[in-house]
Amino acid sequence: MPFTSLGLGPKITKAIKEAGYTEPTPIQVKAIPAILRGVDLIGIAQTGTGKTAAFVLPMLEMLSKAGSRSGRRAMRALVVAPTRELVVQIDENVRKYARHLHTRAATIYGGVGEQPQIAALRNGAELVVATPGRLIDLMQQGHVRFDDLEFVVLDEADRMLDMGFLPQIRQIVRALPKERQTLLFSATLSKEIEMVTKEFQKDPETVQIGRRANPAETVTQFVYEVPKARKLALLTHLLEDKTLDSVLVFSRTKHGADKIARKLIASKIPTGTLHSNRSQNQRLTALRGFKSGEVRVLVATDIAARGIDVEGISHVINFDFPPQPEDYVHRIGRTGRAKAVGDAISFVTSEDTANLRALEKFIGRGIPRKRAEDFDYNAPAEIGAVTFDDRPRRQFNSSRPSSGRPQSRSSYGSGSSRPSQGRPSSASRGSSSSRPSSSARPSSARPSSTSRPAFASRSRRSRP
C-alpha cells in the first residue's frame, strides 16, 4: 500500500520518500487514516514499529492544511514523552517529515537552559515535544498557552506511568482545551493504561500491532550463563568479535554502567554511557557518537535508553538480566528495528534463573544458551570486576571446559527452559575463534521466524 493512499498530501509524501520509506508499516496503515478522521486513538505498539511516524505524519498533515483557531501562530500539537532522549528523537522525526512544510516545532526538556525553550514558545512553535517535568515548570511560570491546542499525544504512556508521571500528566491534560484530539501510544494495554484512556479520551478507537509479549521477530536471542564475577571479562571477550560493531549494553545501575564503561575504555573500546547522572550534554554527545559510529559501545540504564532509536544497532547485551519481562522486550526492541537484523545477548547468573524462566514463559519460547569459545568461565574475578553488590555469591558450577557442549540443567537450575533452535547470530557466523560459539541447545520450542521482514511478519499477527 503506498503512503499516498493513506490521505497524506504531496509535501509529506515527498519527505517520506526522501526518508527512504517505501511503504507504511502496519501501525501506520491503521493509525494514519484514523487520526486524519479526527478520532481519539489508542495505539498499542512497541518502539521499532514506526509508531512515531504513525502519529506525527497525520498531525503534520492536518496542521499544514488549516490555520489555528485564533489565526495566530501558537501551539497546536503537544507530544508528551517520558525521557529527554525520546523527545529529541521524536523531534528529529518531526523535522524530517516536516522539511517541506512551514510548521514550526520545538522541544521542551530539563537539564538544559529554559530561555531558548521559552523563546520558541513565544515565537509560536506549533508542534511541541516535551517531557512532563519541564513542561509543567514552564506552565507554572506562565510561558505556555494551550488556547489553540488541537492535538495531544501521550507517547510511551506505559513508561510514563511506570516512572510515576501520572500526576504530572493529569496536570497537563487538565490544562488543555476540552475540544481536542487525544492520541495515546503504549507498548502494553494494562489496566492502568485503560484507566488513563477513560480519563483523557473520548470514544477512542484502538489499533494494536503485534502481541503484547512479542520481541521483534528479526532479533536473534541468546543467553550466556556466566558467574557474576566473570560478566565483565565475558563482555570484553565477546567484544573481540568486530562484528559486534554497534552495541547497546544494559546495566541495572548507573554505578554499574560507569564501571563497565571504564573497563571497556581501558580495553581501548570506544564506549559511551547514557544514564541520568550524566549531564544532558554528555548524554546527547554519547548518543550522537553512538549514532555516528564513533562510539562502538553505549552502556545505558533502562530508563535512559527508553525508546532510543539508533539505526543499525548490531547487538543488545543485557549485562544485567532485567527482572521484568516487559523490560527485556523493550531492551531488545532496540535492535532488529525496522527490518534490520540484530542480536540480543543476555548474561544470566545463578540469581537470574527465575527471571529467565519467567521471561521464557512470557515470550512463549525458550532462548538458546551459548558458551563462549576460548573463554575461561573459572578464572578468578579481576580486581575491580563489576559485581554490583557485596553479598556472598552462589556461582554456577562452571568447571566444564568451554567446549560449546550443552550444559546440564542442574548446573544452572533453569530446568524449565526449553530453548529454541536459534539462527546463528551474526556474531557466530564465520569461523573466527574469538567469536562466540553457536552452541545453542536444540529444542522442541517454536523456532523464531527470524528470516521474515519485521513489518511483514508483524502484520500477520496484527489485531484490529
Positions in the binding site for ligand AMP (CB under 6 A): 21, 24-25, 28, 47-53, 309, 311, 337-338
Q: To the nearest whole angstrom, how small is the minimum distance from the Cβ of residue 209 to ligand AMP?
A: 10
Q: To the nearest whole angstrom, how small is the minimum distance from the Cβ of residue 46 to ligand AMP?
A: 7
Q: To the nearest whole angstrom, how small is the minimum distance from the Cβ of residue 278 to ligand AMP?
A: 22
Between residues 92 and 258, which has the closer beta carbon with respect to ligand AMP? 92
Is there a contact between 85 and 162 (Cβ–Cβ < 8 Å)? no
Between residues 187 and 257, which has the closer beta carbon with respect to ligand AMP? 187
Q: To the nearest whole angstrom, how small is the minimum distance from the Cβ of residue 41 to ligand AMP?
A: 15
Q: To the nearest whole angstrom, how small is the minimum distance from the Cβ of residue 54 to ligand AMP?
A: 7
Q: To the nearest whole angstrom, how small is the minimum distance from the Cβ of residue 367 to ligand AMP?
A: 23
Q: To the nearest whole angstrom, how small is the minimum distance from the Cβ of residue 284 to ligand AMP?
A: 18
What's phi and psi for 441, nearest 5 deg?
-75, 145
Amino acid at site 119:
A
Between residues 55 and 377, which has the closer beta carbon with respect to ligand AMP? 55
How big is the chain, counted in residues? 464
- Over the Cα atoms of the chain, what is R_g? 23
Between residues 176 and 338, which has the closer beta carbon with respect to ligand AMP? 338
Q: To the nearest whole angstrom, how small is the minimum distance from the Cβ of residue 90 to ligand AMP?
A: 8
Q: To the nearest whole angstrom, how small is the minimum distance from the Cβ of residue 338 to ligand AMP?
A: 3
Is there a contact between 401 and 426 (Cβ–Cβ < 8 Å)? no
Is there a contact between 320 and 251 (Cβ–Cβ < 8 Å)? yes
Between residues 48 and 422, which has the closer beta carbon with respect to ligand AMP? 48
Between residues 94 and 249, which has the closer beta carbon with respect to ligand AMP? 94
Between residues 309 and 320, which has the closer beta carbon with respect to ligand AMP? 309
Residue 304 in grid coordinates? 535512559
Q: To the nearest whole angstrom, how small is the minimum distance from the Cβ of residue 51 to ligand AMP?
A: 4
Q: Which residues, at least 6 apart from 76, have a Cβ–Cβ distance to it below 8 Å? A: 63, 68, 126, 127, 148, 149, 150, 151
Q: To the nearest whole angstrom, how small is the minimum distance from the Cβ of residue 23 to ligand AMP?
A: 6
Between residues 136 and 313, which has the closer beta carbon with respect to ligand AMP? 313
Between residues 50 and 368, which has the closer beta carbon with respect to ligand AMP? 50
Between residues 331 and 371, which has the closer beta carbon with respect to ligand AMP? 331
Between residues 233 and 308, which has the closer beta carbon with respect to ligand AMP? 308
